[in-house]
Structure 1
Amino acid sequence: MLYFVPRTGRRLRASAVLGVTRGLQRRLLVMLIVPLVLLAAINAWFEYRSAGNVALQQDQRLQALVPLVADSIVGDAGGRPLLMLAPPVQEFLKDDPSAAAYAIIDVDGQVLQGEEWLADELPPADAEPQFHSEEHGGVTWRIVRQRQQTIFGEVVVAVGDGTDARQQWARSILLRVLLPNLVLIGAAAFAVGWAVERALRPLRALKEAVERRSPRDLSAIDEAASPEEVRPLVDSLNRLFGLVNAQAESQRRFVADAAHQLRTPLAGLQAQVEAWAQAAAATPQDGTLALPTEQVYKLRSATRRTSQLANQLLALSRADARGMHSQPQQRVQLKSLCEDTLEAHLDAATARGIDLGLDAEPVRVMGHEWLLRELMSNLVDNAVKYSHDGGSVTIRCGRRGSEAFLEVEDDGPGVSAADCSRILERFYRVPGTQAEGNGLGLAIAEEIARVHHSHLQLGAGAEGRGLKVTLPLPG
């Protein structure tokens, strides 16, 4: 079969699926985390508004206490005001003595009654209340100062509250908003990442299934194993696989039919040319002109190559990996198979003085016997064809560890490292090769190896000479 899906295309598809998966995961994380951040910001804004309302209420409360403190002055006690605190002022001072303070200050800034530190600021220049925050004793105080007319005369009344709502708001933002929200966002990011990872696991499984596929595996993907949201994509991929598979199958049938149709006329032509070659080689007895020997031999060689090409094309189409998956395997005795292969190629090896040997141990494997026979025939034919006259070729089979193997080794010219990666390609021949061939023998063997879920292993022969081709097989 000549149709071929390149491996790079498969890797690109897998990388694309992986990129889509990671892109979806990032987008889902952003789409879920950003709203949480926005909600945290809105919560902080509401806390700020709430703190502002509390601060305004505190200022109003302090301002309401100022005239009450002024009204508490009931007389003059030797140059100092005589006080009888109003109940609201008493309640304010008793609720939290460490966070409540007042002072009565004359217009010159001297404290007449109350806390001395409340006179640190200059008295107000007019009757409007003045609010400000001040640090004292490690506490932020909210203080209001205002001029008041009393029976003692004009004084400045200062009232301070150590429970500053603005300071409480800063602590609230840190402890009740920012830290919990940061912890919540971190936990949400972890939970969302975990959930998204699990939710996208079927997509990753689909990616891995596509990545593990052989370039020649065009079978449909199981839609039932895919998430419902991905099934349209899987359905489209299956339709594409079906179209490509149909095209490949059509091409495979064409090659098989063409090769099959060529076999009969080529066989007849080869028989006729062989007869001409024998006649050309015979010495004429009656003085007639002999057939042109050189031209007949060239024609015979071309006919043999063409006939071999038709047979190899037919074998290649029959050995197509996709076409063999549906055919049942059977137990194959590798030793008998190697013995038959040696017998089939013994005459060709003897004609060139090649020592064709067998080193076989009894071992059975599951496989397609006629395909393994075709594989060994191609490997031995190549070894005999490319070895030098008087060389040696060894056929082996047996078991190494848990695996069985088939192996053909020769002491011929071998293959360079640069050509090792290409000699399994169809129609590729090592430059400078003199022996006849079409470059299909090893390609057919590799296709048969794929059918048996394996690959040909190429290496140097004994003492670094020649070529050794090994096929590992599940035991």
Structure 2
Amino acid sequence: MLSGLRRRLIVMLLVPLAALALLNAWFDYRSADNVAEQQDRRLAALVPLLADSVIGEGPHGGDPPVLLLAPALAEFFKDGAGSASFAITDADGRVLAGESWLASIAPSTTEPEFHSEEHAGTTWRIVRERQQTVLGELVIALADGSDPRQRWASSVLFKVLLPNLVLIALAAFAIGWAVERALKPLLELKDAVERRSPRDLSAFDESASPEEVRPLVRSLNRLFGLVDAQAESQRRFVADAAHQLRTPLAGLQAQVEAWAQAANQPGPDATLQLPAEQVNKLRGATRRTSQLANQLLALSRADVRTMQTEPRQQVDLKALCEDLLEAHLDAASAKHIDLGLDTRPVQVMGHEWLLRELLANLVDNAVKYTPAGGTVTIRCGSADGLALLQVEDDGPGVPVQERPRVLERFYRVQGTGGEGNGLGLAIAQEIARVHHSHLDLQSGSGGRGLKASVLLETAAATAAL
């Protein structure tokens, strides 16, 4: 926007200057044209004087006639030495006096005839007229090589156009500097807006801006206020939702788990017999609801634009993998799944709770969809200077054409069994984006199962930057 505004201002200021330069050249040409008309009138006035200057024949036959130049003619030839000439010819075109190159056919009328002619590299303004002299009717020709039109054509580049072009170039630099200085408050405002973090919605100081920019600053402050109010409302909603959903769902799940245990393993003295099938369905629904609430809250918090402003900390991926193994060991054992570790010490700079959420979703997906008796392996280590975090299983896997889509929210592969909301991989992908990476899905060893990997910058590489 600023670049377009700067260009528009410069063009709008330079175009009038260029128009004035052309107008100046046109006035200069008109001035030369007026001088040329005065020159024609002067030549026409000198022709009768040159005719009157013929006072007799030459002393011998064939000699030029005797001339006694009038003072005005003498001054004309003296001032225009080298650029003034004349010729006196008879009616047959024979030159009696003056320059032979001026000889021409006599004018058909008694009116003076004007024309321009090129001779010896000079453009001459020539007038010819029939005049009565003491020797009879003669043709008088006067030529002036100082044609203002010619002088204008030869000097227009150096005396008119070139100075104007230099003036326009200097004006362009001056105008560009002035426009740059004038737009500096807008540029500073732009830089201030770009430096703002998404969470910094404080108002700009209106008094620090020029009067013309203050309405824009006032509008920005009003927009920041509205966005801040909306963001604060959303933050309160997320916090309230986390409290209002997690606590009762956790209590409900604990109660249902107790009912399920009583229904599945009734004692001989049980006072309450519950239908096991219904209680197990209720437990499954409660688990799914609790998981969905937790995943939605995690997805809301794992926002790329929001988390970019949060400080990072050093995270030990090996310890993180060991914690997640312990957390999912019971679920894996219940399905007779071999949940193992293949870890090497590696540390990254990131958000510990987000990386924990990412790995938890990958392990939970692997355990959930791997059939009984299968294998799930959690890995971490270094690969090509980057930190590798990976979960591999030998379950049904994901078809190649479906892999981009399973990273979308609420998408599940058709025909997939087990419980799920289609959010686990979407959350993992969002968290990977927060850490400037992406979730890579490939087939497991031997073409079986799914291998989900994330490459992260190591803490040492981040410190070097």
**Does structure 1 residue 61 correspond to structure 2 residue 51?**
no
The alignment partner of 1:454 has SS state of coil
* Matched-pair identity in %: 67
For residues 269 and 333 of structure 2, the distance between their equivalents in structure 1, rounded to whole angstroms, comes to 35
**Does structure 1 residue 399 correspond to structure 2 residue 382?**
yes
For residue 4 of structure 1, what is the aligned residue in structure 2? none
Residues 202 and 224 in structure 2, CA contact (< 8 A), matched pair in contact too: no
Task: Give the counterpart of 2:19 among 38, 42, 62.
Answer: 38
Question: Following TM superposition, by how much is the alpha carbon of 1:421 offset from its aligned partner in structure 2, in angstroms?
Answer: 3.9
The alignment partner of 1:468 has SS state of strand
Question: Following TM superposition, by how much is the alpha carbon of 1:292 offset from its aligned partner in structure 2, in angstroms?
Answer: 3.6
Quick check: 346-355 or 92-101, which moved more?
A: 92-101
Normalising by structure 1, we get a TM-score of 0.79
Normalising by structure 2, we get a TM-score of 0.81
For residues 68-100 of structure 1, the C-alpha deviation after alignment (integer angstroms, 9 at most, x for no partner) is 322322222247521233444344335555422
Task: Give the counterpart of 1:468 among 449, 452, 455.
Answer: 452
Task: Give the counterpart of 1:149 among 119, 132, 148.
Answer: 132
For residue 6 of structure 1, what is the aligned residue in structure 2? none
Question: Following TM superposition, by how much is the alpha carbon of 1:300 offset from its aligned partner in structure 2, in angstroms?
Answer: 1.6
For residue 421 of structure 2, what is the aligned residue in structure 1? 438
For residues 130 and 368 of structure 2, the distance between their equivalents in structure 1, rounded to whole angstroms, comes to 121
Quick check: 299-308 or 194-203, which moved more?
A: 194-203
Residues 399 and 405 in structure 1, CA contact (< 8 A), matched pair in contact too: yes
For residues 352-408 of structure 1, the C-alpha deviation after alignment (integer angstroms, 9 at most, x for no partner) is 232322222223334443333233222211221122333322222233455434332
For residues 189 and 441 of structure 2, the distance between their equivalents in structure 1, rounded to whole angstroms, comes to 36
Task: Give the counterpart of 1:172 among 147, 155, 158.
Answer: 155
Residues 393 and 408 in structure 1, CA contact (< 8 A), matched pair in contact too: yes
Structure 1, gaps ≥5 residues long: 1-19
- Paired residues for 1:45-444 under 5 Å: 45-77=26-58, 78=61, 81-123=65-107, 125-126=109-110, 128-181=111-164, 217=198, 219-220=200-201, 232-233=215-216, 236-237=219-220, 239-282=222-265, 291-319=274-302, 329-416=312-399, 419-444=402-427
Letter in 2 for 1:161: D
Question: Following TM superposition, by how much is the alpha carbon of 1:31 offset from its aligned partner in structure 2, in angstroms?
Answer: 0.7
Question: Following TM superposition, by how much is the alpha carbon of 1:257 offset from its aligned partner in structure 2, in angstroms?
Answer: 1.7
Residues 460 and 467 in structure 1, CA contact (< 8 A), matched pair in contact too: yes
Residues 337 and 373 in structure 2, CA contact (< 8 A), matched pair in contact too: yes
The alignment partner of 1:145 has SS state of strand
- Alignment: residue pair count: 452
Residues 37 and 185 in structure 1, CA contact (< 8 A), matched pair in contact too: yes
For residues 236-273 of structure 1, the C-alpha deviation after alignment (integer angstroms, 9 at most, x for no partner) is 34543442343244234324323422333333332333
The alignment partner of 2:345 has SS state of coil
For residue 455 of structure 1, what is the aligned residue in structure 2? 437
The alignment yields a C-alpha RMSD, in angstroms, of 3.9
For residues 251 and 434 of structure 1, the distance between their equivalents in structure 2, rounded to whole angstroms, comes to 35
Compared CA separation, residues 318 and 91, structure 1 to 2 (3 A)? closer
Residues 386 and 455 in structure 2, CA contact (< 8 A), matched pair in contact too: no
Compared CA separation, residues 114 and 263, structure 1 to 2 (3 A)? closer
The alignment partner of 1:436 has SS state of coil
Quick check: 86-95 or 428-437, which moved more?
A: 86-95
Question: Following TM superposition, by how much is the alpha carbon of 1:430 offset from its aligned partner in structure 2, in angstroms?
Answer: 3.3
For residues 291 and 308 of structure 2, the distance between their equivalents in structure 1, rounded to whole angstroms, comes to 26
For residue 463 of structure 2, what is the aligned residue in structure 1? none
Structure 2, gaps ≥5 residues long: 460-465
Residues 346 and 458 in structure 2, CA contact (< 8 A), matched pair in contact too: no
Question: Following TM superposition, by how much is the alpha carbon of 1:446 offset from its aligned partner in structure 2, in angstroms?
Answer: 4.2
Question: Following TM superposition, by how much is the alpha carbon of 1:197 offset from its aligned partner in structure 2, in angstroms?
Answer: 7.9
For residues 416 and 134 of structure 2, the distance between their equivalents in structure 1, rounded to whole angstroms, comes to 128
Higher relative contact order (CA 8 A, sep 6+): 1
Question: Following TM superposition, by how much is the alpha carbon of 1:62 offset from its aligned partner in structure 2, in angstroms?
Answer: 2.0
The alignment partner of 2:336 has SS state of coil
The alignment partner of 1:246 has SS state of helix
For residues 270-327 of structure 1, the C-alpha deviation after alignment (integer angstroms, 9 at most, x for no partner) is 2333333334334786999964433332222111111222333444455556766776
Letter in 2 for 1:311: N
The alignment partner of 2:314 has SS state of strand
Residues 107 and 113 in structure 2, CA contact (< 8 A), matched pair in contact too: no
